[in-house]
């Protein structure tokens, strides 16, 4: 319903300064208190007189911030969305290795939202946890809702996967049933907080908004591990490479969307998709035994991959024989060790979890994963066996690079050394730079959310 009079209030929505997915709301206007009450009811947390934050354990803050924006705009409140947040709202990401692969994206969001409600009920003291245990796979718990006639519940899972697996009429029934199954591992009270829950608590802490806004418009780049460096200009990188290496012939598709670089031997081909979104494949490198044979191996990289990482890849390929490999030879422990030795030398954490062998950077913000099952059982299908990632966590990487089983160990070792030892530059994101998306209300029409055209994308 269109409001009779616009409310004298505006809301500026932005990404959280330190938390990867959280959203901040800065309120202004004589009637800002009306907006504040509405956001608090939607579980936004007040961190200052005119600032609230939305923090969730399912990392769906941009989606629910957009939902809040639409409702506020419908009430006659002016909404401003920064480009960085609009990009996050437009992004359609998915959970890696999600345990319920039959769920659609909307169904996954429903499961996550149910888990969020359980988390909030516990956090607000509405659901009292009596005991918890670890069942060998995940955390389980038993608790009771502190409302008149509140049921007791058996909870299964952690964070965005926590679900109500069973209900009971009384705490006694619930505890007896829980003890029958988990007596040996049963512990009183709630389970220790997960890393995600700790991060959410930190994001809700008061932060200095004034200091964040007073940063220089063009802050100096900072030196960071190479895997955290800016993506920079991939097209310029490819132009420089092709100018320096005449053995590669360039041609561009009629639609001007893709450039192909083909080695004079016709056995190495590079494809560059120019307008690929940050999380989609922008580079594909494929090697062939002969110009007419099937691929020996293939490697891909997303559009947000730091240019220095790609430069190291191209330099290796320019060696002339850097893409040779042996088809038919099974991937063995010696090959894997050779490819990852620089990571081990740099003290990256090495873990084995079933089919997955992983190396994780000391700060937990990058990693390399090897799929031993795929390498052993599907060696000739060029499936993604190696995955390199960097970002907040492996489920929501900033960029990824994948490689098939027979990708040369020497190439992977060069990339590993680059990731482990080299540094690059990252330009800090400054709030308020560039254009913003505005939701302007009018009493003559129903307010709608208008998307920034340059930020809008399809996933």
Name the phi and psi angles at 19, rounded to 5: -100, 135
**Domains of the chain, residue spans:** 1-98+436-459, 125-201, 225-426
pLDDT at 210: 45
Average pLDDT, 10 consecutive residues per value, the chain (459 residues): 64 89 90 86 86 92 92 88 90 81 90 94 91 92 91 95 94 94 91 89 68 50 90 92 91 76 90 90 91 89 94 87 56 88 94 92 94 82 89 88 92 93 79 38 31 31
> SS3 string of the chain?
CCCCCCCCCEEEEEECCCCCCCEEEEEECCCHHHHHHHHHHCCCEEEECCEEEECCCCCCHHHHHHHHHHHHHHCCCEEEECHHHHHHHHCCCCCCCCCCCCCCHHHHHHHHHHHHHHHHHHHCCCEEEEEEEECCCCEEEEEEECCCCCCEEEEECCHHHCEEEEEECCHHHHHHHHHHHHCCCCEECCCCCCHHHHHHHHHCCCCCHHHHHCCCCCCCCEEEEHHHCCCCCHHHHHHHHHHHCCCEEEEECCCCCEEEEEECCCCEEEEEECCCCCCCEEEEEEEECCCCCCEEEEEEEECCCCHHHHHHHHHHHCCCCCCCCCCCCCCCHHHHHHHHHHHHHCCCEEEEECCEEEEECCCCCEEEEEEHHHHHHCCCCCCCCEEEEECCCCCCCCEEEEECCCCCHHHHHHHHHHHHHCEEEECCCCCCCCCCEEECCECCECCCCCCCCCCCCCC
Other C-beta atoms closer than 10 Å to the C-beta of 419 total 26
pLDDT at 438: 38
Of 270, 268, 265, nearest to 241 by C-alpha is 270
Assigned token pair, 210: 């004034």
Q: Which residues pair with 129 in a beta bridge?
A: 143
Q: Model pTM?
A: 0.50
Distance CA 59, CA 47 (A): 19
Distance CA 274, CA 379 (A): 30
pLDDT at 457: 31
């Amino acid at each position: 319903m269109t409001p009779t009079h616009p409310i004298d209030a505006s809301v500026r929505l932005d990404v959280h300064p330190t938390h990867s997915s959280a959203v901040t709301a800065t309120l202004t206007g004589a009637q800002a208190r009306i907006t504040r009450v509405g956001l608090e009811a939607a579980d936004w947390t007040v961190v200052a007189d005119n600032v609230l934050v939305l923090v969730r354990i399912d990392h769906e803050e941009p989606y629910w911030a957009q939902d809040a924006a639409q409702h506020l705009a419908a009430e006659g409140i002016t909404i401003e969305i920064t480009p960085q947040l609009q990009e996050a709202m437009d992004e359609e990401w998915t959970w890696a290795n999600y345990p319920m692969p039959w769920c659609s994206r909307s169904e996954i969001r429903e499961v996550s939202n149910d888990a969020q409600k359980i988390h909030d009920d516990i956090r607000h003291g509405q659901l009292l946890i009596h005991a918890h245990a670890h069942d060998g796979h995940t955390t389980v718990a038993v608790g009771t809702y502190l409302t008149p006639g509140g049921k007791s519940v058996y909870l299964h899972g952690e964070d965005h996967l926590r679900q109500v697996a069973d209900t009971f009429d009384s705490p006694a029934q619930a505890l007896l049933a829980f003890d029958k199954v988990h007596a040996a591992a049963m512990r009183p009270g709630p389970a220790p907080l997960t890393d995600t829950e700790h991060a959410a608590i930190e994001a809700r802490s008061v932060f200095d908004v004034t200091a964040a806004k007073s940063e220089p418009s063009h802050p100096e780049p900072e030196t960071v591990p190479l895997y955290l460096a800016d993506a920079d200009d991939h097209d310029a990188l490819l132009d420089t490479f092709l100018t320096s290496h005449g053995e590669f012939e360039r041609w561009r598709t009629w639609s001007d969307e893709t450039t192909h670089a083909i080695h004079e031997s016709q056995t190495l081909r590079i494809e560059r998709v120019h307008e690929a979104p940050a999380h989609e494949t922008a580079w594909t490198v494929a090697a062939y035994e002969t110009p007419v044979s099937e691929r020996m191996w293939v490697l891909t990289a997303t559009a947000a991959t730091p240019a220095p990482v790609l430069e190291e890849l191209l330099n290796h390929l320019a060696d002339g024989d850097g893409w040779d490999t042996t088809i038919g030879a099974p991937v063995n422990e010696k090959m894997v060790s050779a490819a990852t030795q620089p990571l081990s030398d740099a003290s990256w954490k090495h873990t084995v979890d079933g089919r997955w062998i992983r190396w994780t950077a000391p700060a937990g913000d990058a990693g390399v994963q090897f799929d031993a099952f795929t390498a052993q059982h599907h060696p000739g299908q060029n499936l993604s066996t190696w995955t390199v990632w960097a970002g907040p966590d492996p489920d929501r990487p900033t960029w990824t690079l994948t490689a098939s089983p027979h990708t040369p160990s020497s190439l992977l070792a060069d990339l590993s050394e680059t990731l482990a030892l080299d540094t690059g530059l990252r330009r800090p994101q400054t709030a308020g730079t560039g254009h913003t998306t505005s939701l302007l209300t009018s009493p003559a029409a129903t307010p709608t959310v208008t998307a920034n055209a340059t930020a809008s994308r399809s996933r």
